[in-house]
Amino acid sequence: MPLDTLIEKTELKKAVAAATQVTFIGSGNEVAAKAILDIGYDGEGYYPITPSCEVGEMVSRAIANGEADMSFVVGTSELAAISVVTGMAIAGGRAVDVTSSQGLMLKAEEMPAISGLGLPVVLNLATRDINAPLNIKNGHSDLMATLGWGWLTFCAPTVQAVYDLNVIAIKVAETVNLPAIVAYDGFHTSHANRRILVFARREDVRRFVGPTPPRLNLLDLEHPHTFGPYMNDDLINTKVQLDEKFKRAYDLIPEVFEAFFQLTGRRYNFVEVYGDPDAEAGLFILNSAGEASKASVDRMRAENKRVKAIIPTVLRPWPEDEMREAIGDTPRLVVAERASQYGAGNYLANELGATLQRAGKTNLLISRTYGIGGLNFRPEDGVELLNLAWHYPSITEDERKLRGYYGAWPGEPGYDPPEIFTPLTAAETTLNANQAKIDFKHLSQMPSRIAKHSACPGCGMFANLNLFMRGIDGNVVFLFNTGCGMVVTTGFPNTSFKTPYFHNLFHNGASTATGVVEMYRRFRAQGRIKDEITFIVVSGDGGDDIGMDQVIGSALRNDPFIMLEYDNKGYMNTGGQLCYTGFKGERFTNAPLGKMGQGKQQHSKDIIEILRGTNSPYLFTAAESNPRDMIAKARKAQAMVRAGNFAFGKVFSVCPLNWGAEDSKGNEIVDRAVKSCLFPLYEIENGITHLNYDPQASGRKISVQAAFELMGTAFSHLTKEQFAGLTREIQDETDRRWDRLKELATNPKL
Amino acid sequence: MTTFNTNVQLPFQDDLGFCNVLMSAIGGDGANMAAKLLFKVCVTYLDLDGAYDAKYGSEKKGTPTDVSLRFCKFGTSVRESGPTNRPHILCIFRDALIRPLALNRGLQKNALVIANTRRSPEEIRDDLRLHSGTICCLDATRIALETNSRLNIPILVLLAKFLQIPMETLRKVVGETWPRASTANLQAFDRALGSFAQKRFEADGKYPLVPPAEPRGRIGYMNMNEGGAINATTHLNLSSSMPSASINPLPDFHAEICTHCGLCMLACSDPGAIVWDDKKMIAIDAVYCKGCMRCVEACPDTKKGKALTAPAELAVA
């Protein structure tokens, strides 16, 4: 479709009619979900990441309750989720996604493809810093990374704006065929509960947004098109097209803002100026800190200082004229950014500088990076930054730097903390060698490699680690995937690990371990390392959803480390979202129960059986209810690794918090999971399957219902009559898998 | 349109027009639920507006958490986000948190403190090192236990009383929010209102005003390891800042019954909690144990009974 027919101004005008607004109380995430539901999307692709998780949870709850009719797909990763969205959009659907931080980074591959394809999808971005060390709090490094990706970018400083800009963004996006980001501050806005106004009637929102305008799509059989072709020299022309669309968006956005104002009484502009237009000092600052800066301006003006805050609403298209006018003749401004370009001028400071330079202006821009990692920005901080601009000519040489950080600290000179612990030795941790028997009293002498941690009482992960590690001798290096396990052990400046430990992001543990063991073997061969080391990767089941390919890679290469998956049947660190290892019918925050919802819709992913296809030499399941078996498997896994092989183990791990189970009952819960064959104990050694415990043969097999009884509120509905059909289905599938496993175990050729 | 009750006068107001409330609790206490409910009541039924900001990060059961509420008269611009660091009102769900978290930091003069404790206002003042204000003590744990309610209800009720929120409105909303616990909660209302001890402390110079906590550790950009690497030999979590891992009571250990079978050790989820010496179990270490009672479940019942038993009084969940 030619670009010039896309903007239908007359259509836009028709939507203008005052629409009743009512009070709504909610957080930034809740009102983003409310907007999604009010707009009426065809589908959402979703993957949980803090702090944006709740948006998908609330949408899925509305679907489960029969209050929304839309497709909702939980991807196996952020990249999967956004690709689902691409699929929805190329099929002609109206599609939305939410993310934050590294989630956005994992989507990065797909982001410029979406704008290149001209797909008008909306991405809600609850901003969060990107980095190692890991931090889950606010920062704009994710947002800033997107600026060249060809997405319209709206910034919502308040909870109210999150709702409003969602409605506005889809309207603009679908009119010009560009994707749009609505960025709001992680935690500062996503978790801030406020009273806002929303449309009383969903029809009013839908009338304003209008139906999805027709566009080329994959399901149009009468007009078959090839999307995503290979392109050589012509590619530059697509970039011109993209740029032209941004020009159209620039013309269109004020009209949509005006139409929205007519409808709601709420006015948005490209950029908001608060304070004196002819101020002597200014502060240019995004989102929640921009909003807080208004209080700073009030305080300064009370002291008769003419100052202003400049808070942009739109970053893409870059509203050059409006930005220049907002700055006006104010001689000095601090441009404060929750991001840094390290060793270069900051993102927006550079852009503003170029804007001023093109107009021949000489306002002084003082750049400061602030608020990284969720550091709060209070009105007194705004006063300090405005005062920096105000007093700039008279401050000391040291303070006069034009680029710098606000709110960092140097640390205490001469701080020299005492040694409080002597590293473990291989000798004191070697207790299994030459022990034919498993003697618990003997193993009581095994020093724990993990010190105090802050996991919930009764956490299954540490019960498993505590037990498993008693069967592992000698020097150990841990590698953890992201999850509760790393969060509750390594809060800076303290650590719970007595051994060397490395947490690499989310799902990368297996490949990272591969790199580490490669160097270990190399350095050992060179004689640079004398000590024997066992490498253990610890991952949640979530890490093996998103990181499945990397686990398979390590298994295929037979890289010598142990990978231990603590399977707690969900994304528990982020608040109990669906993971594909979860049982069918299990209740999650993004797979709730309701009129139309019965929890997770698929049977549990069988990762050991998936890995069977790699022909890895040692695969096993283990359970704390069978401690002797677990220690035997730990010993065997270590022997396998010492012989140069990969070993993968899956342990059933209770999550009392998100399962709603009793803290004390972990061991019995696991015992029932084993006896019901929901979690059979077996191992595959060089392709041969051994059942380690056969509850059926000993007459101890119980029903899945009996297992679910004790597992807490995420499962207890499955014991009720109302869900009998679903429970029967789980029983049948469990029995089918169990019967198959028995067959595999009887014949070494299978 | 809701009719606002316009008679509410906030007990405190700062220069921006806000009354700041901080709740200090541990994950699972229901502080977030209480705050969310109170916020809803205030902005729906009263002519108040404001902000409710939960603490950042995932809430693990048993770890300290705080919740911030800021109230203003309707029409005041709500601009700041993030939790308050200058509370006028402090609600302490667990008095054991007072010292390790230094809860007096940022507390304003003439503050109001509501504490769940068995101690007296005088004792709490000394523990908290309160500059000045009113301390209101109640045994919310006992009330919750005896009325089969939750810890957050008695504290919520007292907070609402001091904010002059009409009790009838609160009763109504609490009843609607938790219909199944309605009777229990309403009993807890009456018990809370009838059983607190209140005392006012003037600015007598006994304790100074303490500024808000700032995120300024001893390690900064001048002396931090590359990438924030932590030296285990100097920064291992051995006892950390909390002298005890748990606010929950710990299991009772009866050494004379113990057969040193090791089953408790195998079920334990807090490495270090079960202390062994020379192949004999000798104690529970309070620095590590979180009181989950996994070991009590695992401990075999012998002729002499169990060596590990749950304490007589378990705290309310």
Query: Which band of pLDDT confidence, cut at 50, 70 and 90, is reported for residue A489?
Result: very high
What is Dmax (Cα atoms) for chain A?
88
Residues 6+ apart with CB under 8 A from A289: A185, A188, A336, A338, A370, A371, A377, A381, A382
- What's the pLDDT tens digit per position in B231-275? 999 999 986 555 555 667 899 999 999 999 999 999 999 999 999
Strand partners, B154: none
Smallest CA–CA distance, residue A547 to chain B, in Å, is 22
Q: Above 90 in pLDDT, residue A725?
A: yes
The alpha carbon of B184 is separated from its chain's Cα centroid by a whole number of angstroms, namely 21
* Judgement on whether residues B95 and B194 belong to the same structural domain of the protein: yes
Mutual angle of helices B152-162 and B31-45, in 10-degree steps: 30
Of A295, A452, A463, the CB nearest to B80: A295
pLDDT confidence of residue B56? 59
Are the Cβ atoms of B294 and A412 closer than 8 angstroms? no
* Judgement on whether residues B250 and B179 belong to the same structural domain of the protein: no
Last residue of a domain, one of B171, B201, B231: B201
> HSE-up of A606 (CA within 13 Å, CB side)?
18
Question: How much is the average pLDDT of A443-464?
Answer: 94
* Judgement on whether residues B74 and B152 belong to the same structural domain of the protein: yes
Residue B208 lies in a domain: no
Are the Cβ atoms of B236 and A487 closer than 8 angstroms? no
Question: How much is the average pLDDT of B184-201?
Answer: 92
Are the Cβ atoms of B232 and A136 closer than 8 angstroms? no
* Judgement on whether residues B247 and B141 belong to the same structural domain of the protein: no
Output the domain CATH number for residue B183: 3.40.920.10
- What's the pLDDT tens digit per position in A370-408? 999 999 999 999 999 999 999 999 999 888 899 999 999
In A, which residues are within 8 Å of B238 by CB distance? 420-421, 451-452
Are the Cβ atoms of B82 and A455 closer than 8 angstroms? no
Of A457, A462, A494, the CB nearest to B62: A457
Give percent of chain A above pLDDT 90. Answer: 95
Are the Cβ atoms of A411 and B224 closer than 8 angstroms? yes
Residue B33 belongs to what domain range?
19-201
Residue B213 lies in a domain: no
* Judgement on whether residues B176 and B299 belong to the same structural domain of the protein: no
Q: Do you know the residue count of chain B?
A: 317
> Number of residue pairs across A and B with CB atoms under 8 Å?
249
Q: Above 60 in pLDDT, residue A546?
A: yes
- What's the pLDDT tens digit per position in A28-79? 999 999 999 999 999 999 999 999 999 999 999 999 999 999 999 999 999 9
Strand partners, B112: B89, B134
How many angstroms separate the CA atoms of B45 and A724, rounded?
43
| pTM, to two decimals | 0.94
Token pair of A437 as six digits: 């028997």
Q: Mean pLDDT over all residues of chain A?
A: 95
pLDDT confidence of residue B100? 87
3-state secondary structure of A391: helix
Are the Cβ atoms of A458 and B52 closer than 8 angstroms? no
Of B52, B60, B235, the CB nearest to A193: B52
* Judgement on whether residues B180 and B293 belong to the same structural domain of the protein: no
How many angstroms separate the CA atoms of A240 and B22, rounded?
54
Query: Which band of pLDDT confidence, cut at 50, 70 and 90, is reported for residue B58?
Result: low
Contact call for residues A516 and A531 (beta carbons, < 8 A): no
How many angstroms separate the CA atoms of A504 and A509, rounded?
6
* Judgement on whether residues B268 and B188 belong to the same structural domain of the protein: no
Question: How much is the average pLDDT of A626-635?
Answer: 98
Second CATH level (architecture) for the domain A440-746: 3-Layer(aba) Sandwich (3.40)
pLDDT confidence of residue B239? 67
Query: Which B-chain residues 42-71 have CB contacts (< 8 A) with chain A?
Result: 43-44, 49, 51-54, 56-58, 60-63
Q: Mean pLDDT over all residues of chain B?
A: 90
Residue B209 lies in a domain: no
Query: What topology is assigned to A276-405 in CATH?
Result: Rossmann fold (3.40.50)
Residue B119 lies in a domain: yes
Query: Which band of pLDDT confidence, cut at 50, 70 and 90, is reported for residue B181?
Result: confident
How many angstroms separate the CA atoms of A526 and A518, rounded?
12
* Judgement on whether residues B253 and B197 belong to the same structural domain of the protein: no
* Judgement on whether residues B180 and B287 belong to the same structural domain of the protein: no
Second CATH level (architecture) for the domain A19-221+233-264: 3-Layer(aba) Sandwich (3.40)
Query: Which B-chain residues 257-286 have CB contacts (< 8 A) with chain A?
Result: 260-263, 265-272, 276, 279, 281
Are the Cβ atoms of A420 and B61 closer than 8 angstroms? no
Residue B1 lies in a domain: no
Give how many domains chain B has, as a whole number: 2
Q: Above 50 in pLDDT, residue A11?
A: no
Q: Above 90 in pLDDT, residue A2?
A: no
- The answer to whether B75 contacts chain A (CB < 8 Å) is no
- What's the pLDDT tens digit per position in A676-700? 999 999 999 999 999 999 999 999 9
In B, which residues are within 8 Å of A408 by CB distance? 220-221
Place of tokens 């969602």: A166
- The answer to whether B303 contacts chain A (CB < 8 Å) is no
3-state secondary structure of A434: coil
Of A375, A418, A488, the CB nearest to B215: A375
Residue B123 lies in a domain: yes
Are the Cβ atoms of B230 and A493 closer than 8 angstroms? yes
Last residue of a domain, one of B169, B201, B233: B201
Contact call for residues A208 and A15 (beta carbons, < 8 A): yes
Last residue of a domain, one of B151, B175, B201: B201
Burial class (CB in 10 A: 0-12, 13-18, 19+), A235: exposed
Nearest Cα to Cα of residue A192 among B88, B91, B61, B36: B36
- Do domains A19-221+233-264 and A276-405 share one topology? The answer is yes
pLDDT confidence of residue B65? 87
ipTM of the complex, rounded to two decimals? 0.93
pLDDT confidence of residue A158? 98
The alpha carbon of B14 is separated from its chain's Cα centroid by a whole number of angstroms, namely 25
* Judgement on whether residues B254 and B121 belong to the same structural domain of the protein: no
Residue B7 lies in a domain: no
The A192-199 sheet, strands edge to edge: A21-26, A192-199, B48-54, B64-73, B19-26, B89-92, B111-116, B133-138, B197-201
Residue B279 lies in a domain: yes
Smallest CA–CA distance, residue B287 to chain A, in Å, is 8
- What's the pLDDT tens digit per position in A152-210? 999 999 999 999 999 999 999 999 999 999 999 999 999 999 999 999 999 999 999 99
- What's the pLDDT tens digit per position in A572-618? 988 899 999 999 999 999 999 999 999 999 999 999 999 999 999 99
- What's the pLDDT tens digit per position in A277-328? 999 999 999 999 999 999 999 999 999 999 999 999 999 999 999 999 999 9
* Judgement on whether residues B170 and B272 belong to the same structural domain of the protein: no
**Domain extents for chain A?**
19-221+233-264, 276-405, 440-746
Of B85, B261, B288, the CB nearest to A452: B288
* Judgement on whether residues B148 and B260 belong to the same structural domain of the protein: no
Q: Above 50 in pLDDT, residue B289?
A: yes
Q: Above 60 in pLDDT, residue B64?
A: yes
